[in-house]
Amino acid sequence: MIAVSALRWSLSNPNRNHQRAETAIKTTGRSWRSRFPQSRCTSCSPPSPAAGSRSTCARRSPLLTSETIFLDDVEKAEISIHNLSRQIPFAGHAAVGAAWTIARLTGHHPSVLRTTGREAESWADSAGVWVRAPLSMTPPWWAERLDDPCQVDDLGGPLSPTQDFTQLWAWIDGPAGIARMRTYAARVGIPEDEACGTGAMRLAAGHGRRMTIHHGEGSIIHAAPGPAGYAGIAGHITEVPAREI
């Protein structure tokens, strides 16, 4: 029996309904939920399912998360990330949830997350839990800027049915680095991603500045460029009851 829950990320826009997105963390005996995107993920600490059954485990989750993180070695902060069909190298909001969970399990925040032979830095500050990773570990999001944030609010999907892995965004306050964004990735089973961490990383890196992104129906992502080829995201976490599968 595997306990399943999600990390719930902070969706702190007072002018919107507080729709909450979930990052599921599957563990044996413990689980949490991160406040952040409605793009979701999960994690499992040893004894976790064999590699071939991990995506099956993700699909069985009652939380219907888009990614599942397996905590392969909590002390070494070694993780693996699976979506509903395969292992992937990185998922932004999921990695933030994993770092927070490992800190809760071990009593200290991991400085590095290790996944599929790569490493992602992690730390915590007033913006929440940060994870910074190589942009080469992120999907090839296409970001298209619109003229006004109200246009982003009014979207019912991509501008064209042929668009995929698409971010549509506009400045709310350009000088302050505050943007409005929505993200669509139907090809991987995400008609709309409530908060896309890797996309936020790419946008901040492309603009070379720290950004606050109001994403989806009410999520807030902090993103910042790092050294050449790197970027990071941050969010806040709260604990919710576990479930079992």
pLDDT in the model for residue 68: 78
Same fold: 3-134+235-244 with 137-232: yes
For the domain 137-232, what is the CATH code?
A: 3.10.310.10
The dihedral of CA 187, 193, 199, 203: what is its sign?
positive
pLDDT score at 57 = 64
- Specify the CATH number for 3-134+235-244; select among 3.40.50.720, 3.40.50.300, 3.40.50.10700, 3.10.310.10: 3.10.310.10
pLDDT computed for residue 242 by the predictor: 59
- The whole-angstrom separation of Cα 178 and Cα 176 is 6
Q: Which pLDDT score, from 0 to 100, does residue 134 have?
A: 95
* pLDDT value for 187: 81
Q: Exposed, middle or buried by CB within 10 Å (0-12, 13-18, 19+), for 14? A: exposed
| Residues of the chain below pLDDT 50 | 1-6, 8-42, 46-48
pLDDT digits (tens, 9 = 90+) for 64-88: 566 778 888 999 999 988 876 778 8
Ranges of each domain in the chain = 3-134+235-244, 137-232
